[in-house]
Amino acid sequence: MEFEAVIGLEVHAQLSTQSKIFCACSAAFGAPPNENTCPVCTGMPGVLPVLNRKAVEFTIRTALATSCAVQSKSVFARKNYFYPDLPKAYQISQYELPLALAGHIDIEADGGTKRIGITRIHMEEDAGKLVHEGEFAGAQASLADLNRCSVPLMEIVSEPDMRTPEEGGAYLRRLRDILVYLEVCDGNMEEGSFRCDANVSVRPKGQKEFGTKAELKNMNSFRNVEKALEYEIRRQVEQIEDGGTVAQETRLWDAAANVTIPMRGKEEAHDYRYFPDPDLLPLIVDDAWIDALRKTIPELPAEKVARLASTCGISRYDAELLSSSRALADFFEASVKIYGGNPKVSANECIHWKDAVAAGKISPETIAHAVEDRETGKISATASKTLVELVIRTGKPLRQLREEKGLSQVSDAGALEETVAKVIAANPKEAESYRNGKAGLLSFFVGQVMKETKGKANPKIVQEVLKKKLG
Amino acid sequence: MAITREEVLHVARLARLALSEEEVDRLRDQIGNILDYIRQLDTLDTREVVPTSHAVEMGTPFRDDSVCPFGDKEAILSNAPDRFEDFFRVPRILED
Ligand SMILES: [Zn+2]
């Protein structure tokens, strides 16, 4: 029997705000333990949460970029459970009435486009962090750091529309790229600012009903999500083929062993007793606010790839490499605006120097001038590379360095004639042999001229002048 | 009765409360009375009424996204029943 998988993904994305979602503590990563805490985020009695406007705006912008319907009224609820990383004993989240519903993202799949539905996007706060035994030798306790408590998150829940691990990976990457383009999340999976849980089940191909699903957690890279899905799909199919049934359970991905293992059950864990948080009035979003935010949505990755590939004369592959970062794509466009030439060359240069671009070490002018000077024969390919490296090291403009370091090459035939004549006069035997048909000696003469000019001559022009003088 | 013994015990367990037999009976009576009282609402026709989450007719106020450190970590940590350096120390949590 042939099986197919049904995959839905839940992403928790940390919003790139300065402060936390309900208090003015810093939301920055990596502060000393409990440095970023206050009575609000540590759940002291008598405090009131006040909602961060920017966190709302980031979520609305994400909703707009994924074609969701932004709800004019959404409600924060308390999700109740006890855990030492949760000092209030409840997490403020949105439950029955989330901020956004019913959107979608288009992904590339099987050489075409596939639309993956988004069920909902809601806002919530993060929990703290526990350091466990093992990390502290001999610890009989767990240690709680509440810096992360109340850092703003949005949860993006997909429809169960994906059928293969590759589609899951494509959806996640596309979603991450969108969030990074919007500058609402840094998209860093390893640091935990972009986390993914997966719901996966299998069913005989052609069957309409879903099979029993397992929830997968603990995958901290795109590759691990794909590997965990692959493993879990195979496990479920084998289970069924062996006459067994799939249990509805939560499983953890073990990246070292490359398997999913059942999480030890907390049977009552799902009785969260949600109710509207009396401390927070409904979140009201009017059309004017949505319209204003709609204007801030930049060109998104899929649109950018399509536009660069169709209007800039570069391949779709290069367009995708450039669009992997909004800054890199912008850099490329700025660069070809300064010097058009062959955009393919500019694209290659931008991709080659992308780390320097990201670090702000070179400007679009650097690449534009390097490409222009090369195409007009003012510098050699080697000099071009040397010059960009010098720009990175010194911060000086490329053309200034070109002059300072004497890296221009002589492309003026007239200026080279004298040197060529000198070289021919110094090697009469070789000149004679060349004239008698030993054409291979041309490269010898080119080498001599290059040596004479300390590599500054344009080899192409040198050849032309040599041929003329020797011929 | 509006609530069963098992439900009282279930809610007590969720709230990490260990109840004596006598407390279970007393709470079942008390919670039952509260639920019976609230249940009067069932006699109303609310089909046309939008669910109300809050009694106040306004949206939530906002704050700007600016950082203002509380600045007294000691005061926060002084509430810890137990601490280790600048961490809250809690009974060890077993993870799988
Ligand atoms: Zn705080």
Query: Is residue A456 pLDDT above 80, yes or no?
Result: no
Options 3.30.470.20, 1.10.10.410, 3.90.700.10, 3.30.2270.10; CATH for A413-470 is 1.10.10.410
Selecting from A141, A146, A281 the residue whose C-beta is nearest the C-beta of B56 gives A281
Give CA–CA dist A21/A49, Å, rounded.
8
Cβ–Cβ below 8 Å for B66 and A268: no
Mean pLDDT confidence for B6-26: 89
pLDDT band at B89 (very low <50, low <70, confident <90, very high): confident
Shortest distance between the Cα of B45 and any Cα of chain A, in A, equals 22
Cα of A125 to ligand 1 centre, how many Å?
Answer: 11
Burial class (CB in 10 A: 0-12, 13-18, 19+), A209: exposed
**CB of A183 within 8 Å of any CB in chain B?**
no
> Which residues, including other chains, have CB under 8 Å from residue A289's CB and lie 6 or more apart?
A60
DSSP state for residue A19 in the 8-state scheme: B
| pLDDT tens figures, A239-295 | 888 888 888 888 888 888 888 888 865 544 568 889 999 999 999 999 999 999 999
Cβ–Cβ below 8 Å for B82 and A143: no
Selecting from B65, B73, B90 the residue whose C-beta is nearest the C-beta of A35 gives B73
**Which residues on chain A are in Cβ contact (under 8 Å) with B96?**
252, 261, 263-264
Shortest distance between the Cα of A183 and any Cα of chain B, in A, equals 15
pLDDT for A265? 56
pLDDT for A232? 92
Cβ–Cβ below 8 Å for A273 and B14: yes
Cβ–Cβ below 8 Å for B76 and A268: no
* Mutation site for A-interface testing, chosen from B10, B68, B70, B86 by largest number of A Cβ within 10 Å: B70
Q: Give the closest residue to A45 by CA, choosing from A84, A87, A91.
A: A87
Mean pLDDT confidence for B83-87: 88
Give CA–CA dist A463/A446, Å, rounded.
6
Cβ–Cβ below 8 Å for B68 and A24: yes
Selecting from B65, B79, B92 the residue whose C-beta is nearest the C-beta of A52 gives B65
pLDDT for B96? 38
* Mutation site for A-interface testing, chosen from B50, B65, B76 by largest number of A Cβ within 10 Å: B65
pLDDT for B93? 66
User: In the numeric block, which tokens belong to residue A205?
Assistant: 């191909």
Mean pLDDT confidence for A112-117: 90
**Which residues on chain A are in Cβ contact (under 8 Å) with B85?**
33
Share of chain A above pLDDT 90, in %: 40
ipTM of this predicted structure: 0.85
pTM exceeds 0.90, yes or no: no
pLDDT for A211? 85
Mean pLDDT confidence for A230-235: 92
Mean pLDDT confidence for A346-372: 85
Give the DSSP H/E element, type plus range, for residue A119: strand A112-125
More confident residue, A191 or A413: A191
pLDDT band at A133 (very low <50, low <70, confident <90, very high): low
User: In 3-state terms, what secondary structure has residue B1?
Assistant: coil
More confident residue, A80 or A265: A80
More confident residue, A46 or A314: A46
pLDDT for A268? 47
Q: Indicate the class that CATH gives domain B5-43.
A: mainly alpha
Query: Is residue A137 pLDDT above 80, yes or no?
Result: no
pLDDT band at A190 (very low <50, low <70, confident <90, very high): confident
Mean pLDDT confidence for A94-113: 90
Query: Is residue A135 pLDDT above 80, yes or no?
Result: no
- Whole-number average pLDDT of chain B: 87
pLDDT for A201? 92
Lowest mean pLDDT among A163-172, A190-199, A260-269: A260-269
pLDDT for A269? 54
pLDDT for A212? 87
Cβ–Cβ below 8 Å for A39 and B82: no
Cα of A180 to ligand 1 centre, how many Å?
Answer: 26
Selecting from B56, B68, B92 the residue whose C-beta is nearest the C-beta of A133 gives B92
- Give the angle subtended at the CA of B54 by the CAs of B49 and B59, to the nearest 5°: 105
Shortest distance between the Cα of B22 and any Cα of chain A, in A, equals 25
User: In the numeric block, which tokens belong to residue A401?
Assistant: 């360095």
Query: Is residue A29 pLDDT above 70, yes or no?
Result: yes
The packing angle between helices B5-14 and B21-38, to 10°, is 100
- Whole-number average pLDDT of chain A: 87
Domain ranges in chain A are 3-291, 301-404, 413-470
Q: Are the CB atoms for A151 and A42 separated by under 8 Å?
A: no
Cβ–Cβ below 8 Å for A42 and B56: no
Mean pLDDT confidence for A73-100: 93
Query: Which residue type sits at A65?
Result: A
* Mutation site for B-interface testing, chosen from A16, A86, A142 by largest number of B Cβ within 10 Å: A142
pLDDT band at A136 (very low <50, low <70, confident <90, very high): low
**CB of A18 within 8 Å of any CB in chain B?**
yes
Shortest distance between the Cα of B78 and any Cα of chain A, in A, equals 12
pLDDT for A441? 80
Q: Give the closest residue to A160 by CA, choosing from A121, A195, A200.
A: A200
pLDDT band at B94 (very low <50, low <70, confident <90, very high): low
Query: Is residue A188 pLDDT above 70, yes or no?
Result: yes
The b-or-e profile of A345-364 (16+ CB within 10 A means b, else e) is bbbbbbeebbebbeeeebbb
User: In 3-state terms, what secondary structure has residue A199?
Assistant: strand
Sign of CA dihedral A428, A434, A438, A443: positive
Q: Give the closest residue to A121 by CA, choosing from A162, A163, A175.
A: A175
